[in-house]
Amino acid sequence: MANLLDRAQRALLAWQGFTSFHLTTSVGRLHVLEKRSRGELPTLVFLHGFSASSMMYGPLMRRLEPESRRILAIDLPGHGLSEVPSRGLDYLSMKNGMFEALDRLLAWNAPAVLIGNSMGGFAAVRYAVHRPERVRALVLISPGGAPMSKEGFASFLDTFRLRSQEDALDFIDKLFARPQRLRRIIARAVLKRPPERGVGRVDRCDATLGPAHPSRGPDPDFAGVVRMGRLGSDPPEGEP
């Protein structure tokens, strides 16, 4: 069901004029969706979360398209229609692939709004700190990168280990603010859905989160954003 929904979303976006293409990076080819329009909003860039794809933003992109000059959505390495890095899916491959793609897609004199959910929010903050001239604003939806104890991190990972229909129902209930009429159907689809290519077992995602993942304390890039106060400011002296 989930793959069918993804195909339906892609068809709707294509019908609305979104183009689909791949960018070659040092970690493999990354899939990009793009639509240019005549709206007043600046370029909007959508970054998805772990084990998801750009299709999670399909309805939102279709709604915002008339209001924006340009919309971009990237499938991060090993996700969606992007290739799996030859070195495997780890922190460096995720970071390098995303940075290279955004560096080619975004202009320094036309900063964009980055919209990131979960791991996509974590990635958006990193890019904003290191490329402030290319980022006008951040929209962060439950971003990763907050400090978390080792026990809390283990509990967080366990949330994604769906062993039964009841586990899947609990997972769906945590995702939605209101009870869903089709929660049992959605839960069955989530339980049966294979992991995104390259993601593999959820207990391997520790390597993807990298050297500054939540169980090791606050991420310095998040602290940098707080200290800077606004994008476009110079970072504190001595920091990249």
Residue 236 has pLDDT above 50, yes or no: no
Residue 221 has a pLDDT of 56
Residues above pLDDT 90, as percent of the chain: 43
- Give pLDDT, residue 127: 94
Q: Which pTM value belongs to this model? A: 0.75
Among 127, 150, 140, 137, which residue's Cα sits nearest to residue 224?
Answer: 127
Domain range annotation of the chain: 2-148+209-228
- What is the CB neighbour count within 10 angstroms for residue 125? 23
Confidence label for 72 from pLDDT (cuts 50, 70 and 90): very high
Top-ranked range on mean pLDDT: pick from 50-54, 105-109, 115-119:
115-119
Q: What is the pLDDT of residue 194?
A: 56
Contact by Cβ (8 Å): 157, 134: no
Do residues 74 and 104 make contact, with C-beta atoms less than 8 angstroms apart? Answer: no
Phi-psi region of 70 (alpha: psi -120 to 50; beta: other; left: phi over 0): beta
Fold of 2-148+209-228: Rossmann fold (3.40.50)
Residue 227's pLDDT band (cuts 50, 70, 90): very low
- In this model, does residue 92 exceed pLDDT 80? yes
Q: Is the pLDDT of residue 210 over 80?
A: no
User: What is the average pLDDT across 91-105?
Assistant: 91
Coil, helix or strand for 72?
strand
Task: Using DSSP, state whether 110 is helix, strand or coil.
Answer: coil
- The whole-number average pLDDT for the span 30-57 is 93
pLDDT at position 219: 53
186 Cα distance to chain centroid: 21
Give me the pLDDT at residue 143, please.
86
Distance CA 72, CA 34 (A): 5
Q: Is the pLDDT of residue 128 over 70?
A: yes
Least confident window among 2-16, 31-45, 73-87, 175-189? 175-189
* Structure confidence at residue 179 (pLDDT): 64
Mean pLDDT, rounded, for 43-67: 92
- pLDDT confidence of residue 220: 54
Q: Is it the case that residue 97 has pLDDT exceeding 70?
A: yes
What pLDDT score was predicted for residue 195? 54
Three-state DSSP state, 223: helix
Output the average pLDDT for the chain: 79
Query: Cβ distance 215 to 148 under 8 Å?
Result: yes
Question: What are the pLDDT digits (tens) for 131-175?
Answer: 999 999 999 998 877 677 778 777 777 777 788 888 888 888 877
Q: Which of 173, 116, 174 is nearest to 145 (CA)?
A: 116
| Beta strand pairing call for 112-117 and 135-141 | parallel
